[in-house]
């Protein structure tokens, strides 16, 4: 009986061991996780490093209109933004005194002309009298020589034939003519002075400032500003190491970001020497007939290509990684990342030249490269070029 118990106990223990062994599972296989990356093919490209020079636009021709006289403003004929032509009336000043001066000058001319006419008549009369006196003297001399008249009568005839009266009349006539010329000069001056009270545009352009009001007394200074906005100039200060890229008469591309990245063509108009103590050259660039969205006062940029490489193997700059002191990129082969050591050349911040390590058309990782190791499995998303 006792042996039977031990037999049953042994069977139970064996069944527990077998049951435990049957429940033991196979080891679970862990699948390697793929790293998502973006790629782009290496290409043949032109790369340049650019230096940006900034400046602002101003009207190519600006004039501050300053009247020659002061006085009360009687009328303002223009407003800001108005386009005017050369010679167009801008505003007028009270000219009553100037008009009175013109009237007086005209009267003086008329009086002087009357005096000339009077002097002319007197001179002609004196000339006739002199001619008659000379004839009378010649007859009297003949009569005296014949003993027909006394000496006293001859002397009287000689005295009457003196040219002094005629010379005096001629002098008076000349002086009267000079007086006319002087009066006419005064009238011309008076008319010019009167014209100063009517202020006109010295150039054609756009009114950009009006500093006078009708009824106010103008006391001096710029009254109106006129700008020729048909052409703009960009003034920049260029360092001595970049001035070689600027040549008078040559054209340059100008980028106006505030006008939707508009690219304008400008011509180098003038290069001035640096001022004392300065190492920059003032340069003026002319832009003819700019589009309406580009206005005076806007800032613009000129990009100067200071170094360039043509048709070289290039990849985006972010594709290049420095790892353990080595410059590398990752390319994709059979859905795995492959580390490639490279040598780089010119880098403009967007694209970098690869001088060794890559060929054209290789699939290079441009995003996700910082999470890769050599041989890592990847899931590729191609970047649009």
Determine the pLDDT at residue 181: 95
Instruction: Give the whole-angstrom CA distance, residue 298 versus residue 314.
Output: 35
Instruction: Give the whole-angstrom CA distance, residue 353 versus residue 355.
Output: 6
Instruction: Give the whole-angstrom CA distance, residue 48 versus residue 77.
Output: 54
DSSP state of 239: E
CA 107 to chain centroid, in Å, comes to: 51
Instruction: Give the whole-angstrom CA distance, residue 234 versus residue 298.
Output: 10
Q: Positive or negative, the Cα torsion across 243, 249, 252, 256?
A: positive
Instruction: Give the whole-angstrom CA distance, residue 265 versus residue 186.
Output: 53
Instruction: Give the whole-angstrom CA distance, residue 309 versus residue 47.
Output: 5
Q: Which two tokens stand for residue 84?
A: 């005017």
Determine the pLDDT at residue 6: 47
Q: What is the mean pLDDT of each run of 10 residues along the chain (385 residues)?
A: 47 48 50 86 91 89 90 93 93 93 94 93 91 90 88 87 89 94 94 93 91 89 89 91 92 91 92 87 92 88 89 94 92 93 92 94 93 91 68
Q: Which two tokens stand for residue 228?
A: 């020729």
Instruction: Give the whole-angstrom CA distance, residue 109 versus residue 98.
Output: 17
Determine the pLDDT at residue 28: 55
DSSP state of 11: H
Determine the pLDDT at residue 62: 87
Query: Which of 214, 207, 190, 189 has the alpha carbon at shortest distance from 92?
Result: 214
Determine the pLDDT at residue 115: 93
Instruction: Give the whole-angstrom CA distance, residue 283 versus residue 302.
Output: 12
Determine the pLDDT at residue 186: 94
Determine the pLDDT at residue 147: 86
Phi, psi of 69 (to 5 degrees): -130, 165
Q: What is the pTM of this model?
A: 0.54
Q: Positive or negative, the Cα torsion across 35, 368, 44, 324?
A: negative
Instruction: Name the strand (E) or helix (H) holding 240.
Output: none
């Amino acid at each position: 009986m006792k042996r039977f118990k031990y037999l049953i106990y042994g069977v139970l223990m064996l069944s527990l061991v077998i049951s435990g062994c049957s429940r033991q599972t196979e080891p679970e296989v862990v699948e390697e996780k793929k790293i998502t990356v973006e790629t782009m093919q290496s290409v043949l490209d032109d790369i340049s490093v650019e230096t940006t020079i900034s400046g602002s636009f101003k009207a190519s021709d600006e004039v501050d209109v300053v009247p020659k006289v002061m006085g009360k403003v009687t009328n303002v004929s223009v407003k800001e933004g108005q386009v005017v032509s050369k010679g167009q009336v801008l505003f007028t000043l009270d000219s009553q005194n100037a008009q009175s001066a013109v009237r007086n000058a005209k009267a003086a001319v008329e009086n002087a002309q009357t005096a000339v006419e009077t002097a002319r008549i007197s001179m002609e009369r004196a000339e006739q009298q002199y001619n008659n006196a000379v004839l009378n003297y010649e007859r009297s001399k003949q009569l005296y020589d014949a003993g027909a008249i006394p000496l006293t009568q001859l002397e009287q005839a000689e005295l009457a034939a003196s040219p002094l009266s005629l010379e005096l009349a001629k002098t008076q006539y000349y002086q009267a003519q000079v007086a006319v010329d002087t009066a006419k000069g005064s009238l011309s001056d008076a008319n010019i002075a009167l014209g100063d009270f009517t202020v006109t545009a010295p150039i054609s352009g756009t009114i950009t400032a009006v500093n006078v009001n009708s009824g106010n007394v103008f006391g001096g200074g710029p009254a109106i500003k006129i700008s020729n906005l048909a052409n703009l100039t960009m003034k920049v200060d260029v360092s001595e190491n970049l001035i070689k890229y600027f040549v008078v008469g040559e054209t340059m591309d100008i980028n106006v970001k505030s006008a939707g990245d508009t690219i304008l063509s400008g011509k180098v108009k003038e290069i001035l020497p640096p001022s004392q103590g300065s190492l920059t050259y003032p340069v003026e660039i002319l832009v003819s007939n700019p589009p309406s969205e580009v206005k005076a006062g806007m800032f613009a940029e000129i990009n100067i290509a200071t170094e360039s490489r043509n048709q070289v193997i290039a990849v985006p700059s972010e594709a290049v990684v420095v790892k353990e002191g080595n410059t590398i990129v990752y390319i994709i082969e059979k859905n795995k990342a492959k580390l490639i050591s490279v040598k780089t050349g010119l880098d403009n911040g967007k694209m970098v030249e690869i001088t060794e390590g890559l060929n054209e058309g290789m699939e290079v990782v441009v995003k996700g490269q910082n999470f890769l190791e050599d041989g890592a499995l990847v899931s590729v998303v191609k970047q649009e070029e």
